[in-house]
Amino acid sequence: MKLHFFSDYSIIIRSMKKVKHILEIFVHSLIPQDIYYPKLLHTRLLFSIQYYLVVIIFFSLLYTSIAFYQFSPKTVLNYKISLINSLSTFPKEAILSVTNGVLESNLNRPLFLWVYQNNQPLFVFVAHGKEALTKVKISLPFVFLGSEKVQFSYKGTIIQKSYDHDWNIHITKERVQSFIAYIDSIFPSFIFFFYLSLLIVLPLLFIGGSTALILLLSAIVFVLLRTFIPHIHLKKCIQAGLHGTHLPLLTTIFLFMLFPSMSNIIIIATALIFIFTLVATYEMYSKELFQRSGR
């Protein structure tokens, strides 16, 4: 019995030491500096890969947890209720049709629909057959049906699309009610697959996308620095990327959570990962470069 206790205790101690070691590496890797990174020249790539897997899995769990918090089942249900309540206000007499690439309405006024979320009205939909959407884009509402174009806008991202001449669409109160019934029927399946993708697909996409980006940018850094550091190795550039991009990845996670539709987040993330990989690689070889220049 005592032997079993001491065995379990030793396992716990070893696990705590491993966690402490990983945390120490994480702190040293957080900001590329010449104190720690030269040590990576004498560190095996396999060790850095194992360390990176632990860190990237933690980051993916953090990313998924924040996304799950923002799109909790209660929140998604409230969105659904708000959408149905808004669609239910569609006027009985209103008829919207898109034929030959043109929107027509039997109303002599714009049709407005609002969604109330947390008792706050959100201006989400306008249909106006006499309004031509020009190059000047309006950030609100979320959906704007103009005479020849439809516009979608969300948190700064605006997309306009001309109506297809093959479209033959008629929107009436009866069709809106049928659409509401359709939403109710598919909602359980939607919730299931939505959270399945949130818990499985999202972390896999984050891990795969981040890793591919780090490998690609590490190769670019290798090509750029070969002129200045002739004895540089590709695997060391990869190690610099695996260790030195913690802050860019964390920044990307919180940017996606704050601005989920921000189209230039990928550009920002790519630039940050490239800069941090470049600096980390330079810091890795800094002592050797200093010694060579001192000679």
* Per-residue model confidence as pLDDT tens for the chain (295 residues): 444 544 555 656 566 667 777 777 877 778 887 688 888 888 899 999 999 999 999 999 999 998 888 888 888 888 888 888 888 888 888 888 888 888 888 877 777 777 766 666 665 677 766 665 555 555 566 777 777 888 777 666 777 888 888 888 888 889 989 988 998 999 989 899 988 888 899 899 999 999 999 999 999 999 999 888 888 899 999 999 999 999 999 999 888 877 765 667 888 899 999 999 999 998 888 776 655 554 4
- What span, in angstroms and rounded, lies between the C-alpha atoms of 77 and 150? 27
Residue 169 is predicted with a pLDDT of 83
- What span, in angstroms and rounded, lies between the C-alpha atoms of 66 and 254? 9
Q: How many CB atoms lie within 10 A of CB 273?
A: 24
Residue 293 is predicted with a pLDDT of 52
Q: In what side-by-side order are the strands of the sheet with 96-99?
A: 102-105, 96-99, 168-171
Measure the CA angle with vertex 158, ends 169 and 202; round to 5°: 95
Residue 105 is predicted with a pLDDT of 81
